[in-house]
């Protein structure tokens, strides 16, 4: 899968500041079309309306967490192939294992930097 900087990217986080940080980092990396959602429910609704090339999601959100969003995305015929990166402060081993089992493409532990974000995005599209 090739990395296309013009593809729409969906950032999902309940903290506006974190959305702003990730969107700015993505713009610095060259992504032009970055959309956002405040939780899993909103993200899922947006994904039904538009085909995103990448989803970058937090874990701990209400009412629908990033983990639930990931499972719903993977369970959906039309969305199951969407690359999904979890960006979260949840850093317990069982979280990483659960995310991988649910089909996450990569996992970034907060706090993170631009280089880590770029490396993980590249890794997802290189694999």
Q: Where does this chain bind other proteins (CB under 8 A)?
A: 17, 20-21, 24, 27-28, 59-60, 65, 67-68, 89-98, 100-101, 106-110, 112, 116
C-alpha distances in Å from residue 103, one per residue of 34, 66, 115, 117 = 23, 12, 23, 19
Shorter beta-carbon distance to other proteins: residue 51 or 100: 100
Which pair of tokens denotes residue 111?
């706090």
Shorter beta-carbon distance to other proteins: residue 7 or 96: 96
Shorter beta-carbon distance to other proteins: residue 17 or 49: 17
Q: How far is the CB of 50 from other proteins (least distance, A)?
A: 25
Q: How far is the CB of 4 from other proteins (least distance, A)?
A: 23
Q: To which residue do tokens 């937090």 refer?
A: 58
Shorter beta-carbon distance to other proteins: residue 50 or 80: 80
Q: How far is the CB of 28 from other proteins (least distance, A)?
A: 7
Q: How far is the CB of 6 from other proteins (least distance, A)?
A: 20
**Strand boundaries in the chain, DSSP class E:** 9-12, 34-37, 54-57, 84-88, 106-109
Q: What residues contact 86, with CB distance under 8 A and at least 6 apart?
A: 57, 58, 59, 66, 67, 70, 99, 104, 106, 107, 108
């Amino acid at each position: 899968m090739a990395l296309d900087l013009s593809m729409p990217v969906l950032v999902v986080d309940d903290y506006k500041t974190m959305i702003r940080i990730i969107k700015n980092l993505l713009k610095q990396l060259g992504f032009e079309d970055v959309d956002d959602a405040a939780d899993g429910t909103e993200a899922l609704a947006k994904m039904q309306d538009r085909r995103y090339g990448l989803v970058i999601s937090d874990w701990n959100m209400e009412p629908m967490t990033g983990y639930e969003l990931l499972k719903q995305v993977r369970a959906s015929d039309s969305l199951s192939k969407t690359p999904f990166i979890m960006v979260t402060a949840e850093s317990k081993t069982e979280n990483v294992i659960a995310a991988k089992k649910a089909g996450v493409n990569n996992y970034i532990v907060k706090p993170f930097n631009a280089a880590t974000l770029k490396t993980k995005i590249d890794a997802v599209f290189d694999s």
